[in-house]
Amino acid sequence: MSEKKHRQFTSSWGFVLSAVGSAVGMANVWGFPAKMGSNGGGAFLLAYLFFILLFGSVGLSAEYAVGRRAHTGTLGSYRMAWTSRRKELGGAGAALGWLPLAGSMCIAIGYAVIIAYVLKAFSASISGSLMRADTAAWFEGFSLSDYSVVPFHVVVVVGTLLTLLLGAKSIERTNKVMMPLFFLIFLVLAVRVAFLPGAAEGYKYMLTPRWKDLLDPMVWVWAMGQAFFSLSITGSGMIVYGAYLDPGEDVVSLAKRTALFDTIAAMVAALVIIPACFAYGLDVGAGPSLLFVTLPRILQDIPLGQLFAVILYTAMVFAGVSSLQNMFEAVGESLLHRFPRLNRKVMLALLCVICLGIGLHMEPIFKWGPWMDIVSIYIIPIGATLGALSWFWIMKREELMEEINRGAKKPSGAVWYGLGRYLYVPCAVILCCVALFLKVAF
């Protein structure tokens, strides 16, 4: 099959589902509820929705547009953006693009480990052993040991890479199945949680803002960081999906739809986790243990708990794999563009070796945690900042706006560009500076 056939989504909905699949993941299922639970509930939600609206309509659409204009992934897109300003700057732009690209690979390596944990939980749910276990001891039994989930890890990495054999076509096909099922499964869980005694307090906390919390600048900073992470605006990942877009598609409209469904996914996950934690008096900000200790304990106590455990971890596998697809594809497309002699199968085999070669050594949670801290505190904010600066301060305005308005039903103008340059870019810079400061200070 020719490479050209790898590089095209067949419909706008196929694209949106694939983009939502990339965005929906651990950031939605435990990250969003945990951040909301730790930062004022309803107040955090208002701040988060503000940033989702801004980043979805401006930042995400810019990444789609840049990728489509460059017809390739991260490295070629940065080269194109910098070349538009001055031809001799192209090399510097391409070199700069290696950092956010490395970020995508680093996220993929860490992400594969946690999806292996999820697959192990899925297996334990199927067998029923999870319903009888002391969940804390069960989680510690494998999360604190070296090479404890190797078979699951290999299945996750190899299985995800196999879904990329046909490029955009297979990404679209798998997400047309996984994403509708993800939403359906979490809706079923949300309905079940609604009947738990005490769940109403969770809804109240989520949906009733305490206005004084909006005066806390850290509520806004955490909401901003969550919005960046949730939408996969890393200066790399979403560019590659843009490269596979038809010229007639409206990128701003597609970005808004991606943001909408990603937000719905985050809210549905929160409607499961926060009320359940309130019902059982558990810590909603527990991080990974929320998924492997807290929720299984809840499921052990309810009728048909095993069935709901199987449903939960099935949805989590779908969410994780769809995100991992994007990370691998972002790296793979850039490698194919930079090294034309590579073919897709060789490239996927190379990614498999890198991911497993490094990732198998990070299976214990005490190794995985510091790795993901480095990625989330340094690489993602820096990558998002480099991308924002490249699109709105380096790339020629006329070229960006031409691509933004290609296929647009309602063209964007000075307001869109002004929001990008004078609000979106400062947000990225602020997030980067705060993340670095917090790491140094604490």
Positive/negative CA dihedral, 344, 348, 349, 353 = positive
Q: What is the pLDDT along the chain (442 residues), one digit of tens a residue?
A: 344 444 566 667 777 777 777 666 666 777 788 788 778 788 999 999 999 999 999 999 999 999 999 988 899 999 999 999 999 999 999 999 999 998 889 989 999 999 999 999 999 999 999 999 999 899 999 999 999 899 999 999 999 999 888 766 667 777 777 778 878 888 888 888 898 889 999 899 888 888 888 888 888 888 888 888 888 888 888 898 888 888 889 999 999 999 998 898 888 888 888 888 888 887 777 667 778 887 888 888 888 889 888 888 888 888 888 889 888 988 998 999 889 888 989 999 999 999 999 999 999 988 888 888 777 777 778 888 999 999 999 999 999 999 999 989 899 999 999 999 999 999 989 888 887 776 554 4
Positive/negative CA dihedral, 241, 107, 295, 213 = negative
d(CA 229, CA 227): 5
Structure tokens at 361: 């050594």
Per the CB < 8 A criterion, the answer to whether 243 and 333 are in contact is: yes
Q: pLDDT tens digits for 346-376?
A: 999 999 999 999 999 999 988 888 888 777 7
Burial of 85 (0-12, 13-18, 19+ CB in 10 A): middle
User: Tokens 């708990």 map to which residue?
Assistant: 305
Q: What is the pLDDT of residue 274?
A: 86
> Number of helices (H) and strands (E), helices first, in the chain?
25, 0
Per the CB < 8 A criterion, the answer to whether 172 and 17 are in contact is: yes
Per the CB < 8 A criterion, the answer to whether 66 and 395 are in contact is: yes
What are residue 209's phi and psi, to 5 degrees? Answer: -75, 140
Give the closest residue to 68 by CA, choosing from 253, 325, 237, 241. Answer: 241
Give the closest residue to 113 by CA, choosing from 140, 142, 153. Answer: 153
Strand, coil or helix: 4: helix
Per the CB < 8 A criterion, the answer to whether 421 and 391 are in contact is: no
| Mean pLDDT score across all residues of the chain | 86
Provide the angle, in degrees to the nearest 10, between the axes of the packed helices 251-280 and 168-194: 30
Alpha helices of 87-194 — where are they, by DSSP H?
Answer: 90-96, 98-127, 135-143, 150-162, 168-194
Positive/negative CA dihedral, 243, 245, 250, 255 = negative
Which string of DSSP letters, residue by residue, matches 421-432? Answer: IIIIHHHHHHHH
Which string of DSSP letters, residue by residue, matches 71-85? Answer: TS-HHHHHHHHHHHH
User: Tokens 């969770």 map to which residue?
Assistant: 202
d(CA 233, CA 56): 9
For residue 169, the one-letter residue type is K
Provide the angle, in degrees to the nearest 10, between the axes of the packed helices 344-359 and 98-127: 70
d(CA 285, CA 360): 27
Per the CB < 8 A criterion, the answer to whether 156 and 149 are in contact is: no
Q: pLDDT tens digits for 86-137?
A: 999 999 999 999 999 988 899 899 999 999 999 999 999 999 999 999 998 9
User: Tokens 């090479």 map to which residue?
Assistant: 147
CATH code for the part of the protein at 3-441: 1.10.4160.10
d(CA 190, CA 154): 31
